[in-house]
Amino acid sequence: MPELPEVEVTRLSFADRIAGARIESARLGKPLRWPLGCEPEQLRGRTVRAVRRRGKYLLLDLDQGLLLLHLGMSGSLVFADRLPAPGPHDHFDLVTSRGTLRLNDPRRFGAAVFAGGEDDPTALKLLGRLGVEPLSGDFDAGAFHQGLQRLKAPVKQVLLAGELVVGVGNIYASEALFHAGIRPTLAASRISRPRAAKLHRAVQEVLAQAVRQGGSTLRDFSNAHGEAGLFQLDAMVYGRAGQPCRVCATVVRTIRQGQRATYFCPQCQKS
């Protein structure tokens, strides 16, 4: 599943090239998670001003309104001058004067949604309840600790829920907790201020590092299909059950938390 770093790297892969492009047409394939919310013809003639990211949404700012894109479980975006005819999993094409942006999404949990503006009910429904951006200055260690104090759920699930901080998905939650030395099952409310500060820093570092790693492959990103595996090369615990911890050689363990696999080192993350 594309996580925040993959979405950010996808954004970096085409944001500069599409800025200023005029939309010539839009094409829909099979239904996605949510409807487009306008007739495709209504997008014609509008200009793409910029591409921003909010959580795992990409926001294409148009001269009128905005287009929200989400990659869902299996989506990827490609932006290129010339693309082959749409295949069975290509469900949204935005043809512009600078190239075509195409959403390929076999499982169709992704979406392309038009909204009149960020205050429009359609946009508010999708973006309104998102937590703080982890890679922005708004993500504050003190406020993060206070937020943790209020919640009795296991810290891993608190991170995934996205209310305190947005976009920390399954891979990076496990990784950040490892770097902070915190057991994923620990109740969020039991995390001390210094440990919360450590976790705050770890969340930022693992995400920033993943964006850098993905960004370093941008050279080969002309057909921007994000390969999730690319970002897991340096995983300390994620996906490493049964293998020795890279720090202490204790066997990495996996458990299920809310249907999701969690990985941790029982020695480095004692409590």
Catalytic positions are 2-3, 56, 260
Quick one: which of 55, 105, 95 has its CA closest to 225? 105
By the rule CB under 5 A, 245 interacts with Zn ion: yes
Cite the beta strand spans of the chain per DSSP E. 23-28, 48-54, 57-62, 66-70, 76-80, 90-96, 99-104, 111-115, 253-257, 260-264
Min CB(162)–Zn ion separation in Å: 27
By the rule CB under 5 A, 268 interacts with Zn ion: yes
Output 124 or 249, the one with its CB closest to Zn ion.
Answer: 249
By the rule CB under 5 A, 265 interacts with Zn ion: yes
Residue 142, amino acid: G
By the rule CB under 5 A, 267 interacts with Zn ion: yes
Output 189 or 250, the one with its CB closest to Zn ion.
Answer: 250
Q: Which of 73, 248, 251, 255 binds Zn ion (CB under 5 A)?
A: 248
Min CB(223)–Zn ion separation in Å: 38
Alpha carbon distance 60, 46 (integer Å): 11
The interaxial angle of helices 193-215 and 141-149, nearest 10 deg, is 120
Nearest-5° Cα angle at 248, 243 to 250: 45
Output 213 or 267, the one with its CB closest to Zn ion.
Answer: 267
* H helix runs in the chain, sequence order: 4-18, 121-127, 141-149, 155-161, 170-180, 193-215
Choose the stretch contacting Zn ion; rule: CB under 5 A; options: 83-91, 121-129, 220-228, 259-267: 259-267
Choose the stretch contacting Zn ion; rule: CB under 5 A; options: 63-71, 157-165, 225-233, 239-247: 239-247
8 Å CB contact between 132 and 164:
yes
Min CB(270)–Zn ion separation in Å: 10
Min CB(27)–Zn ion separation in Å: 50
Output 97 or 243, the one with its CB closest to Zn ion.
Answer: 243
Min CB(267)–Zn ion separation in Å: 4
Q: Which of 80, 130, 241, 247 binds Zn ion (CB under 5 A)?
A: 247
8 Å CB contact between 192 and 186:
no
Residues near Zn ion (CB under 5 A) are 245, 247-248, 250, 265, 267-268
